[in-house]
Amino acid sequence: MTLTHEPIEGEHFVVVSETTGDEWEIVVGLEVHCELATATKLFCGCPNMFGDEPNTNVCPVCLGLPGSLPVLNHNVVELAMRLGRALHCEVEPSVFARKNYFYPDMPKDYQVSQFDQPINVDGWLDLPDGTRVGIERAHIEEDTGKNTHAGGSGRIHGADYSLVDYNRAGVPLVEIVGRPHIRHPEQAKTYIDELRAILLTTGASDAKMEEGSLRVDANVSVRRVGETELGTRCEIKNLNSLRSLGRAIEYEARRQVDLLETGERIKQETRHWDEGAGRTRPGRSKEEAEDYRYFQEPDLVPLAPSAEWIAAIDAGMPPLPAARRDALARASGLVITDTSVVIAVQRDLDALALASIAAGGDGKRVLTHVEHNLSGEGASNLDPAQFAQLVTLELGGQLTATQAKTVLAEMVTSGRAPDVIAAELGFEAMDSSELEGIVDGLIAESPEEWADFCTGDDKKRGKLQGFFTGKIMKATKGQADGKAVAALLESRRAESL
């Protein structure tokens, strides 16, 4: 069965079952774990460092040795609150809890987390497409050690034994629990992109999926369009890239629709994404929360950030992607969801664009160049006033779009003014009589093609338009303005009919 995605009124998406023609809605909630960018671990002074020699960043606290006591890292609270406030959460008094489970990735046999009283609650994140995704909570917890399964088939089930590196045990994490407001695989990817941008902007995490400092689990369910109750969900793990995330959601939705349409029920379970096979497989059945036997961590006192501390976090908050898009949309006259607006902020070029617009550059044209002709690096050399001048020359007809692109590239490299570069390259507005002479000459050279161009059907004419435009551009070394050429060809055609 194939599923097709059709946006409904621009905000919801529906998948259509090919077997029955029924319409289904995908419902996704994402849980994101991100490692905080601290110097040390959550409860001890061991370095928080990826990729070090195994078991070199360990001490009695993170090895769970008897008599050791945890002490909370100030910077963890600072970064967790920055992230929470960036996600519009309330910062609440919170306590730590032990999540008990027996597995050698935590030498204590429990993970310190926050359970019924998390630090950040009830926030939201706005996607570039305008969707607001609720954030249920963003709580602090510690990361686990890293197991390598050895012997047997190398897979968990076939392993004879495991080797454990505790460098990562006790590294601070924030788990961001999103509400099930996502309706499409692409939207899930966008959510992670946006969250990454916030993590980077606030300095909370380096958010590298490939190094595991940002990890995503997806809760996926489906329901018939129009239903308001949530369906039974499955939690998909082992999503190591955005591509995996999108593919896994797509696969899982299809699997669930197939089951439901054949009268079966969805079993709530954890499933693992197999990137190679392109499918999800059942993992262990999800333990009931009570099996973790959460209880308050007696070795840690409650956390209650003062109103002053929270106010200082808010005061020091850098402009966030959504606010930056808003500012750029207002200045350029484009909508906040315009691709060029979204990309300018993604590439950190919105400050340049704003300054160029303020210097008199046309907003739409400035952002078009940012989207297509500038990368994040190098463009920082660009002087906003000169960028504005370039756009003005282009819109005034003194430079063609192609020439403007060439001049812009040179401006990025040399930092010189656009009029100087244009003169040096011999980019001058082509005199219209000069262009007419060249065009008439080329028409005379190819009478058959010209006749076909004048009388042929749309398809033929389109093809020959390309033929003549190519010849003209070659003859003028790209200096002819594309629009002027098209207009001239059209008027000559009208004359000859």
Among 208, 281, 293, 330, indicate the residue that binds other proteins (CB under 8 A).
293
Among 150, 311, 486, 487, indicate the residue that binds other proteins (CB under 8 A).
150
Is 267 one of the binding residues for other proteins (CB under 8 A)? no
Alpha-carbon span 341 to 155, nearest angstrom: 45
Site for other proteins in 37-56 (CB under 8 A): 38-40, 44-47, 53-56
Least Å distance, CB 229 to other proteins, is 30
Contact region with other proteins (CB under 8 A), list: 24-32, 36-44, 223-231, 403-411:
36-44
Among 114, 131, 144, 256, indicate the residue that binds other proteins (CB under 8 A).
144
Residue pair 93/302 in contact by the 8 Å Cβ criterion: yes
DSSP letters along 141-155, please? EEPP-EEEEESTTSS
Is 316 one of the binding residues for other proteins (CB under 8 A)? no
Among 90, 153, 161, 267, indicate the residue that binds other proteins (CB under 8 A).
161
Site for other proteins in 51-80 (CB under 8 A): 53-60, 63, 71-77
Q: Please list, residue by residue across 269-301, b when 16 or more beta carbons sit within 10 angstroms of its beta carbon and e when fewer do.
A: ebbbbeeeeebbeebeeeeeeeebebeebeebe
Q: What's the distance, CA 257 to chain centroid? A: 28
Among 128, 180, 305, 384, indicate the residue that binds other proteins (CB under 8 A).
305
Among 301, 335, 423, 451, indicate the residue that binds other proteins (CB under 8 A).
301
By beta-carbon proximity to other proteins, the closer residue of 291 and 490 is 291
Residue pair 394/366 in contact by the 8 Å Cβ criterion: no
Contact region with other proteins (CB under 8 A), list: 10-18, 303-311, 358-366, 419-427:
303-311
Phi, psi of 143 (to 5 degrees): -80, 165
Least Å distance, CB 304 to other proteins, is 4
DSSP letters along 186-206, please? HHHHHHHHHHHHHHHHHTS--
Amino acid (1-letter code) at residue 345:
V
Is 300 one of the binding residues for other proteins (CB under 8 A)? yes
For 121, the token pair is 């609650």
Least Å distance, CB 147 to other proteins, is 7
Among 2, 67, 102, 265, indicate the residue that binds other proteins (CB under 8 A).
102
Amino acid (1-letter code) at residue 43:
F
Alpha-carbon span 219 to 216, nearest angstrom: 10
Which residues lie closer than 8 Å to 373 by C-beta, 6 or more apart? 405, 408, 409
Relative to beta strand 234-239, strand 214-224 is antiparallel
Alpha-carbon span 415 to 157, nearest angstrom: 60
Is 165 one of the binding residues for other proteins (CB under 8 A)? yes
By beta-carbon proximity to other proteins, the closer residue of 77 and 83 is 77
Among 17, 80, 111, 341, indicate the residue that binds other proteins (CB under 8 A).
111
Is 82 one of the binding residues for other proteins (CB under 8 A)? no
Is 101 one of the binding residues for other proteins (CB under 8 A)? yes
Least Å distance, CB 232 to other proteins, is 22
Residue pair 102/90 in contact by the 8 Å Cβ criterion: no
Residue pair 266/259 in contact by the 8 Å Cβ criterion: yes
Site for other proteins in 202-241 (CB under 8 A): none
Total of residues contacting other proteins (CB under 8 A): 64
Token look-up 């010849």 returns: 471
Among 1, 8, 230, 304, indicate the residue that binds other proteins (CB under 8 A).
304
Alpha-carbon span 303 to 94, nearest angstrom: 5
For 455, the token pair is 């009388």
User: Secondary structure of 439-490 in the HEC alphabet?
Assistant: HHHHHHHCHHHHHHHHHCCHHHHHHHHHHHHHHHHHHCCCCCCHHHHHHHHH
Least Å distance, CB 151 to other proteins, is 8
Site for other proteins in 320-349 (CB under 8 A): none
Least Å distance, CB 180 to other proteins, is 22
Residue pair 350/374 in contact by the 8 Å Cβ criterion: no
Interface contacts to other proteins, rule CB under 8 A: 38-40, 44-47, 53-60, 63, 71-77, 93, 95, 99-106, 109, 111, 144, 147-152, 156-157, 159-166, 283-284, 291, 293, 296, 298, 300-305
